Structure 1
Amino acid sequence: MAENGPGKAIETTGWLTGLPITVVGAAMNVAQGVSDAAAVASAVKSGAGFTLSPDEARSLLERAKRLRANVVAMQPDAQALTRLTPPSPDPGSVGFNQQAVTTFTAGKDSLDAMYQYMSELIGRLEKALGIVSESDGQAAADVKAVGNSDQGKGLLG
């Protein structure tokens, strides 16, 4: 995975490989003193990919989260359909049931793939927007640990 930063591709292996997402005016660009024009120029120079405004990226992020939630809601029903049994052991019922279960299994696999796609898109958009979620828990634990130690105590401690 390439390092995050203005004009640097945020790469992971998956369906978006080779398609960096650049958010013009993102907090990480501002914090690093990179202008919107420089971010756009760098994104254009890198070739294929997506350049979005912060509003577009946030909107797309919310839409992707809704789609992923819809997929999660459908997964139990899809899983249940793959476990259907024929109403009787006659060849016609068994054959039809096998075809139906095969079709429902393909549908479940499609939902699983959609969940993975949406999860990857959400992760990429969050990184492009500078949203940190994975390390928030660790950062909170570190701050608490420092607060409970003698380390870092100043005038107020």
Structure 2
Amino acid sequence: MTDPTKHSRWRPLRLLLAAMDEEIGRLYTERGIEGVRPRYVMPMIRLGHSGPMTIRELAEDLDVTHSAMSQTVAALRREGLVTSVPGADARTKSVELTERAKELVPFLEAEWRATERAVAELEEEIPYALSQVVRDLEAALAKKSFHDRIAEHLE
């Protein structure tokens, strides 16, 4: 039996997205911004606008799992970008940006807008807009989930 990872429809998409994230990360490095990865940017910007939030609130607001946000917050904490503060009651803790992170937010917002413009530019260069691909995939997956499609092929 042949190695199925040698010919993949899924892998090129994952590699492309990873390469694009790497290029964004390179912009941070070129500007002397250490310890910031592209996956940190959305929560940092949101915290910059909303102020302290619990991990649950942040996860819900950004439409990711609690587990994924918990891991991201732990990474942000290791990089000195967030700190925990007491929440609304004694049982909760909120996450807030450190002063260093607050200083980075204006650049991160500018990078976000520049990235959006770069994606729009790419969409002009290709025959099928990336945003349309996403909408079409979402519509197809609404009819039949990715889980169900994979499970069907496992049987």
Give TM-score, length-normalised by structure 2: 0.28
Greater helix share, structure number: 2
Relative CO higher for 1 or 2, CA cutoff 8 Å, sep ≥ 6? 1
TM-score (norm 1): 0.28
